[in-house]
């Protein structure tokens, strides 16, 4: 959030083609966004408190994706999943894979924020960057579906990476207004630093390269910064708040809208429905499941392989590493006597990395099983036990395809002891059912250092 507005809430409600806005002050220790009279109350989690991960998962029904996302989080996030609050959103499908944005924050940090904002009775805790994206899209008129939104704050800036109109990553940059300008004069060295930081932050992002929308309070200095960025290879555009869409009894300034862009955006997201935001507080608020994400579910077919109803169903039996592996990882930390938070984090990270190196990734196996199937192949399910034995169940056109499929599996790196059998015709699909068992050693299998 560019500014949290102090200990206030920004209240937003629809009024005609625009929105009526009010600052609500009170004896609170945290800011909030309120959508509509008696509606959702949203608090924003600062950018540095949230980590983002881009996932590509096999196409499946939304209700199947939650467990798949959690499995990926276990492998990617260097903290126990039990200590985290996760929120995720499914996007478009590409080549049979679903692009998913995962946001992760420490559970204790989210809980503390909710407690600090307790008097507001918040119902949603979302990344503040979500608010910046909603504010930029709905109020600042940025026209790009993909690219970067840059909000320059007093002592730092927030870079929001956007794909398909939705947040996929956010980065805090150290350069802010105080460093960028001396009076009305742009400080060239600081502008160059900002440009370099932008380039470094965007290096790994697969979005519209070089496209930056710079939010502005209508200050001419920002137009000068855009000119500088253009001279240094950026396709930069100024985005100013559309004040005609906002009304208030006390009147509003562009600077006010700019400084509260994050709060206004969170309220806009809540007006569209709490499921429109990455809600990191869903489970803490007593929900039995995560808030259902919004989905864009195209018809998914990859290389002629039909991703059937059962494509992503897998049963993980005894999905743990062996005891000897854990013992070796434990021994690595035997000499460490202090119990500081950092030490505990490092220890947990080492243990989880040791486990990740040994266990079989269900998504890797699903991709392998699907990728080797001929046209018309149906994958019914995958089972994995704790010793790396995999059972693949599916349907093929005939016996010849079955033996060719077995042979292809046997030729894969990490696969051995491939054994299979035909199990008769499926009455509905008229295809031949089969099962194949194999021993599978994940890529990167090795000793703990």
Of 107, 150, 49, 60, which Cα lies nearest the Cα of 382? 60
- CATH (one of 2.30.30.230, 2.60.40.10, 3.30.420.40, 1.10.10.60) for 144-239: 3.30.420.40
Of the pLDDT bands very low, low, confident and very high (cuts 50, 70, 90), residue 220 is very high
For the stretch 334-369, what's the b/e string if a residue is b when 16 or more beta carbons lie within 10 angstroms of its beta carbon?
eeeeeeeeeeeeebeebbbebbebbbbbbbebbbbb
Of 299, 300, 312, 307, which Cα lies nearest the Cα of 365? 312
Task: Strands of 385-431 (E only): list them.
Answer: 389-396, 415-425
- How large is the average pLDDT for residues 265-289? 76
Given this model, what pLDDT does residue 121 score? 80
The residue written with tokens 């509509």 in the block is: 36
CA distances from 248 to 9, 67, 219, 245, 267 (A): 14, 45, 22, 10, 15
Start and end residues for every CATH 3.30.420.40 domain found in the chain: 144-239
Tokens of 175: 């350069």
Tokens of 165: 């109109």
Rounded to the nearest 10 degrees, how much is the dihedral formed by the CA atoms of 292, 296, 302, 306?
Answer: 60
| CB contact at 8 A, 103 and 127 | yes
**Residue 398 DSSP SS3:** coil
Given this model, what pLDDT does residue 319 score? 30
Given this model, what pLDDT does residue 56 score? 82
Quick one: which H or E segment has residue 323? Answer: helix 323-332
- The pTM assigned to this predicted structure is 0.63
Indicate whether 292 pLDDT > 60: no
Given this model, what pLDDT does residue 315 score? 32
- How large is the average pLDDT for residues 422-432? 90
Given this model, what pLDDT does residue 214 score? 93
Of the pLDDT bands very low, low, confident and very high (cuts 50, 70, 90), residue 151 is very high
Of the pLDDT bands very low, low, confident and very high (cuts 50, 70, 90), residue 249 is confident
Of 81, 128, 88, which Cα lies nearest the Cα of 106? 81
Start and end residues for every CATH 3.30.1360 domain found in the chain: 305-320+359-440
Given this model, what pLDDT does residue 373 score? 87
Of the pLDDT bands very low, low, confident and very high (cuts 50, 70, 90), residue 127 is very high
Tokens of 166: 């939705």
Tokens of 391: 């059972």
Mean pLDDT highest for which of 215-229, 332-346, 360-374, 376-390?
Answer: 215-229
Given this model, what pLDDT does residue 335 score? 39
Indicate whether 314 pLDDT > 50: no
Average pLDDT, the chain: 75
- Of the listed ranges 5-9, 154-158, 192-196, 405-409, the least confidently predicted one is 5-9
The residue written with tokens 């035909």 in the block is: 422
Indicate whether 347 pLDDT > 80: no
CA distances from 254 to 140, 242, 314 (A): 10, 9, 53
Give the contacts of 317 (CB within 8 A, at least 6 positions apart).
383, 384, 385, 386
Q: DSSP letter for 447, please.
A: -
- How large is the average pLDDT for residues 117-131? 85
Give one word for 332, left, alpha or beta, with left for phi > 0 and alpha for psi -120 to 50: alpha
Which of 14-22's residues contact partners 24+ apart within 8 Å by CB, and which partners? 14/271, 15/247, 17/245, 18/244, 18/245, 18/246, 18/247, 19/245, 19/246, 19/247, 19/268, 20/247, 20/248, 21/246, 21/247, 21/248, 21/252, 21/264, 22/248, 22/249
> pLDDT tens for residues 6-56?
456 788 888 888 888 887 665 444 556 665 545 678 888 887 789 998 888
The residue written with tokens 């250092």 in the block is: 449
Alpha carbon 80 to its chain's center: 17
d(CA 233, CA 228) in angstroms, rounded, equals 9
Of 355, 416, 370, which Cα lies nearest the Cα of 390? 416
Given this model, what pLDDT does residue 205 score? 63
Cross-sheet strand order for the sheet of 147-152? 166-173, 157-163, 147-152, 211-215, 235-239
Give domain 305-320+359-440's CATH architecture: 2-Layer Sandwich (3.30)
d(CA 131, CA 353) in angstroms, rounded, equals 34
Given this model, what pLDDT does residue 402 score? 92
Quote the Cα angle for 288-53-349, to 5°.
85
Of the pLDDT bands very low, low, confident and very high (cuts 50, 70, 90), residue 389 is confident
Task: Strands of 174-299 (E only): list them.
Answer: 181-182, 185-186, 211-215, 235-239, 246-247
Of 397, 392, 400, 444, which Cα lies nearest the Cα of 420? 392
Of the pLDDT bands very low, low, confident and very high (cuts 50, 70, 90), residue 71 is confident
- How large is the average pLDDT for residues 340-362? 54
Given this model, what pLDDT does residue 29 score? 47
């Amino acid at each position: 959030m560019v500014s949290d507005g102090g200990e206030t809430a920004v209240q937003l409600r629809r009024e005609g083609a625009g929105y009526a806005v009010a600052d609500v002050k009170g004896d609170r220790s945290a800011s909030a966004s309120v959508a509509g009279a008696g509606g959702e109350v949203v608090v924003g989690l600062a950018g540095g408190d949230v980590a983002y991960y881009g996932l590509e998962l096999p196409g499946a029904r939304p209700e199947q994706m939650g467990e798949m996302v959690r499995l990926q989080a276990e492998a990617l996030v260097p903290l126990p999943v039990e200590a985290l609050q996760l929120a995720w959103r499914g996007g478009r499908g590409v080549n049979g894979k679903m692009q998913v944005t995962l946001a992760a924050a420490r559970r204790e940090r989210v809980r503390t924020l909710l407690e600090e904002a307790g008097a507001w009775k918040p119902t949603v805790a979302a990344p503040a960057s979500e608010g910046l994206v909603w504010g930029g899209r709905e109020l600042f008129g940025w026209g790009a579906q993909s690219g970067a939104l840059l909000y320059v704050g007093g002592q730092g800036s927030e870079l929001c990476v956007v794909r398909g109109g939705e947040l996929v990553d956010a980065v805090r940059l150290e350069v802010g207004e105080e460093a960028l300008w001396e009076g009305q004069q742009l400080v060239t060295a600081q502008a160059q630093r900002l440009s370099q930081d932008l380039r470094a932050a965007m290096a790994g992002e697969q979005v519209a390269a070089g496209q930056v929308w710079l939010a502005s309070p209508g200050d001419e200095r920002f137009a000068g910064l855009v000119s500088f960025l253009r001279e240094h290879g950026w396709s930069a555009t100024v985005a100013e708040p559309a004040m005609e869409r906002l009304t208030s009894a006390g009147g509003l300034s562009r600077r006010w809208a700019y400084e509260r862009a994050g709060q206004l955006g969170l309220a806009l997201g809540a007006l569209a429905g709490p499921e429109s935001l990455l809600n990191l507080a869903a489970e803490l608020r007593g929900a039995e499941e995560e808030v259902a994400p919004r989905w864009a579910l195209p018809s998914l077919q990859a290389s002629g392989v039909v991703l059937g109803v059962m494509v992503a169903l897998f049963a993980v039996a005894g999905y743990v590493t062996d005891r000897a592996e854990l013992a070796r990882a434990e021994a690595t930390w035997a000499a460490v006597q202090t119990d500081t938070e950092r030490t505990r984090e490092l220890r947990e990270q080492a243990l989880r990395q040791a486990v990740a190196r040994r266990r079989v990734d269900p998504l890797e196996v699903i991709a392998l099983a699907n990728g080797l199937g001929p046209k018309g192949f149906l994958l019914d399910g995958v089972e994995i036990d704790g010793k790396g034995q995999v059972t693949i169940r599916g349907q093929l056109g005939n016996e010849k395809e079955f033996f060719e499929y077995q042979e292809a599996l046997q030729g894969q790196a990490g696969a051995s002891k491939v054994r299979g059998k035909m199990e008769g015709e499926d009455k509905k699909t008229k295809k031949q059912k089969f099962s194949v068992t194999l021993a599978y050693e994940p890529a990167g299998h090795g000793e703990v250092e």
